[in-house]
Amino acid sequence: MEQNSTAGQAPVVVEVWADLGCPWCYVGKHRLQRAIEARSDASRFQLKIRSFELNPDSPKEPEPIADVFLRTHGGDPSVVRQAEERIQSIARGEGLEFDLDRKNANTFDLHRVMHFAEQSGKGLEFFSRIQDRFFSGEINPYEAEAMIEIAQSLGLDGDRVREVLAGDEFADQVRADVSEGMALGAQGVPFTVFGRRIAASGAQSVSLYGQALDQVVEALASEETQA
């Protein structure tokens, strides 16, 4: 159910638990944004990235994706490459860049900086810019200077980002996000919650995201009628 105007309508927060290096998070977030943008009431929806660590024990030093998978799951390197190529084909079919040679590392510090950015309402933009440039092969997002550059491009204080990275600020917020997501049912990512009423696991199609948006709008309208 779409509305012609968002005036007087309660905002709907759409939360996506995601991690930087997760390719399905990358694809799913773009599909979700397309589903929102296609609506006449698009401005009603507030998309928010929530922290989730797929590999919390990953080292800080970047390493090839295949090395990570083989260390944690074993198997044949060619199988990993084939899976990556399949996701690359899907991503490129949707107009997204996808670098097969990107590296993996611990993302905890990046999530901390995202929470710093969220204080200024820039969390989604920070995560999106750094993830897009990571998957396009433009940057090493695990480097402090890369995070600082992107934060500054959003008008944030680069010196404050350095301070955050040098300490442990926002660590509790990252852990709280992870715990909350798991409490809501997240066993992996992306995990999307629409207005705290509907949840979807995995990267859905644009159409299915659109249906979930319809459902949450209908649920809110029903609640308002009954109030």
- Domains belonging to the chain, first-starting first, are 12-226 (3.40.30.10)
Q: What are phi and psi of 201, to 5 degrees?
A: -100, 140
- Residue 1, pLDDT score: 37
- Residue 78, pLDDT score: 87
- Model confidence, pTM: 0.94
How large is the C-alpha radius of gyration of the chain?
18
Choose among 1, 9, 6: nearest CA to 224: 9
- Residue 8, pLDDT score: 64
Indicate the helix (H) or strand (E) that contains 13: strand 12-18
Give pLDDT tens digits for 11-23.
999 999 999 999 9
| Average pLDDT, 10 consecutive residues per value, the chain (227 residues) | 56 98 97 98 98 94 88 82 95 97 96 98 98 97 98 98 98 98 96 97 98 97 86
Indicate the helix (H) or strand (E) that contains 19: none
Helix residue ranges, H only, the chain = 23-37, 65-73, 77-93, 108-118, 123-135, 144-153, 158-166, 171-184, 206-226
Give pLDDT tens digits for 152-162.
999 999 999 99
- Residue 181, pLDDT score: 98
- Residue 3, pLDDT score: 40
End-to-end CA distance of the chain: 20
- Tally Cβ neighbours within 10 Å of residue 154: 14
3-class DSSP state for residue 193? strand
